[in-house]
Amino acid sequence: MVNSYCILQCIFILLWTKKELLLIREIVQQITLSTLPSLPSLIADDAALALLAFPEAEPFWSEVHETVLDLPPEPMGQRRWHSRPKRQALGWLSLMDNRLTFDTSLQIGALGQGAIGLLGLGRGSATRFTSLSDLLDSSPRLEPNAAAALVQACAAATWNPAEDEREVALEGAPGLGFTIRHAGSGTWALAIQGRNNLPGGGGLDTVTGLADFAMFSARVATALVRPGRRPARIAVHVLDLDGLRHVTTNLGHAAQEELLRAAARRLSAAIRGTDLVARLAGDEFAILQSDVSAASQAEAMAKRLTALLGHPYLVLGETVTVTPRLGFVLAPEDGNDASLLLRCAGLARSSLEQEAAATPRWCRFSADMDARAKAQRNAEAALRNAVCAQQFELHYQPLISLPAGRLTGFEALIRWRHPEAGLVPPGDFLPLAEKLGLMGRIGDWVIREACRMAARWPKSLSVAVNIAPAQFKDGRLLDTLRAALKETGLAPNRLELEVTETVLLPASGDAPAQLAAIRALGCHIAMDDFGTGYSSLTQLRSFPFDRLKVDRSFIRDLPESAQSLAILRSVVGLGRSLGIAVTAEGVETPDQMRLLILEGCNSAQGYLIGKPKEAAAYAALIANPPAEGLGLG
């Protein structure tokens, strides 16, 4: 190693190619700063000439010149060389070293490339700083108070040269540790170390080795707290991996963790040294992108990351694919608080769940997303309260038999009596109820209330109730029906349950078995919205339905649409052949009614016959139904 020192002291190394530059870096990296008498300075990073200077030649150290090859290409043999004075204070260590030196006046001497990276500053920014306070004040990884405290600690070290080394821990510098060491000859070294822990706990995700939520939040908060003359502009990206749960279900938790580690490696390889990638929780990752001068930079990173994570993975011998969804925000435009930025980036990512698969899998946060999210939260809270306060009511729409027009019963349709918005139709809240897992409780109430009301009607009238697929999941539907029928005294054959064909699909579990048990109880089963699904005919073969309800979309265009008429004839003929009654929904005009009678449809319902109303509104009709029939005039 001593021979290496002597050789490097005496020669200039002319680097004509990038390959040679990398080779000399490997040699130099073997010479650590801790083993040198003092600190060398490798001049002109990635330039044509690299110079190592040592303190033994004191005049040479102070008078060193940097020679840089002109960047514009010139004809062979006519390359021009330029020399300019290079101050000792701007020594640039082209080493991946995490140290810098300073003197008693806190002027920077040698500056390690690793130190620049740990401070979150770009490589090109090194020569901009002459004083230690300017350098630390510009770091996005140090809060102003932490930067000031570190400068004060360095100054205190110069006042006490007898103290060889001191450790400095700062709350405003998450993920960083500092050591100040006396290097001799009026020079001190500040070593910067990356730390994986925070003073209050946390800092490292044990599965991926990335920063965790606590470290990421602290780093974002620190990046945002910048002096007014150096405002921060950063981007925060939040992404998840759609399909990870499927991987876990099929391959196990070991495969899940291996996939997370693979994704973490891809993300780490795709960011700069000044950026940060973290795993927040589950399949959720976050990236802090620093020094964002334009939104297009954040968009480019979002596009690059989603494309990178979308490629297949080889996990435990299996090829798996997940779909990344990413949302990002810019600071300070979209917010100036770490928790707010994370929340808004998460909202942008969540908005992709409602988008079509062909759309980009990333998007930037916008203010309307926050408004929609707030409205969603309010709606969820109001719906939960409605379930507890029983703010629902049933409206009833009459059904008639054809061709006589005789009243045969009613379909019970739920409404939400919102204290502020008034009467809310089912299409506006039932999808949310399913998402929140409230359909079981709501469905139970509908069954009990419909049976209670129908028990007051003449025995010739029945009631139909819609059953959602979610009501089959907990296996309590049969018990709920038995309890409601027993409590109200309603005969099972006066209750008809309307289901869609999705309950008979393989993914519905034991729903077909539950339907069979309900039919054995004596209740009738109707297929609602017949003709709108993918396999309605297949389901007719797999389950003996009592009724087919032709969707209103096929009735709306009658009698003008020849296609709708052909479909109606086919369904009526099919029902006649299978012994299944056919009901037409959405009948609104006399022409439609006459056509249904002509085609042999068994029954009908719609606005022509009667709109959904409270039960009291039909009390007179139930007591005295018209002799000429309903909807036939």
Q: What's the mean pLDDT in 218-227?
A: 82
> Mean pLDDT score of the chain, rounded to an integer?
80
DSSP code of residue 47: S
Q: Which has more confidence, 197 or 612?
A: 612
Angle between helices 338-351 and 367-389 (to 10 degrees): 80
Q: Give CA angle at 47 (45, 48), nearest 5°.
A: 140
CA-CA-CA-CA torsion sign (116, 121, 122, 127): negative
Respond yes or no on whether the N-terminal peptide bond of residue 174 is cis (omega within 30° of 0).
no
Q: Is the pLDDT of residue 535 over 80?
A: no
Judged by average pLDDT, the poorest of 219-223, 538-542, 568-572, 591-595 is: 538-542
* Pair 622, 454: CB distance under 8 Å: no
- Secondary structure of residue 159 in the 3-state scheme: helix
Quickly list DSSP for 79-107. --EEEEE--GGG-EE-SS--EEEE-TT-B
Residue 86 has a pLDDT of 36
H helix or E strand, kind and range, residue 24: helix 18-29
Total residue count of the chain as it appears in this document: 633
Q: Is the pLDDT of residue 530 over 70?
A: yes
Q: What's the mean pLDDT in 107-113?
A: 87
Q: What's the mean pLDDT in 417-439?
A: 91
CA-CA-CA-CA torsion sign (352, 353, 354, 360): positive
Q: Which has more confidence, 522 or 53?
A: 522
- SS3 sequence of 524-575: EEEEEEECCCCCHHHHHHHCCCCEEEECHHHHCCCCCCHHHHHHHHHHHHHH
Q: Assign 59 a pLDDT band (cuts: 50, 70, 90).
A: very low
Q: Is the pLDDT of residue 12 over 50?
A: no
Q: What's the mean pLDDT in 418-442?
A: 91
Please give the domain boundaries of the chain with CATH numbers for all domains. 2-194 (3.30.450.20), 213-365 (3.30.70.270), 385-623 (3.20.20.450)
409: which residues sit within 8 A by CB, 6+ positions away?
398, 399, 454, 461, 462, 463, 464, 494, 496
Q: pLDDT tens-digit profile of 334-374?
A: 888 899 999 999 998 988 876 655 455 899 998 888 888 88
Residue 612 has a pLDDT of 94
The proportion of the chain whose per-residue pLDDT surpasses 70, expressed as a percent, equals: 80
C-alpha closest to that of 90 among 151, 138, 43, 46: 43
Q: Which has more confidence, 372 or 508?
A: 372
Exposure class string for 126-138: b at 16+ Cβ within 10 A, else e: beebeebbebbbb
Residue 536 has a pLDDT of 59
Judged by average pLDDT, the poorest of 177-191, 472-486, 488-502, 533-547 is: 533-547
Look-up of token digits 């001068």: 293
Q: Give CA angle at 161 (158, 166), nearest 5°.
A: 75
pTM for the model stands at 0.65
The proportion of the chain whose per-residue pLDDT surpasses 90, expressed as a percent, equals: 45
C-alpha closest to that of 327 among 344, 340, 309: 344
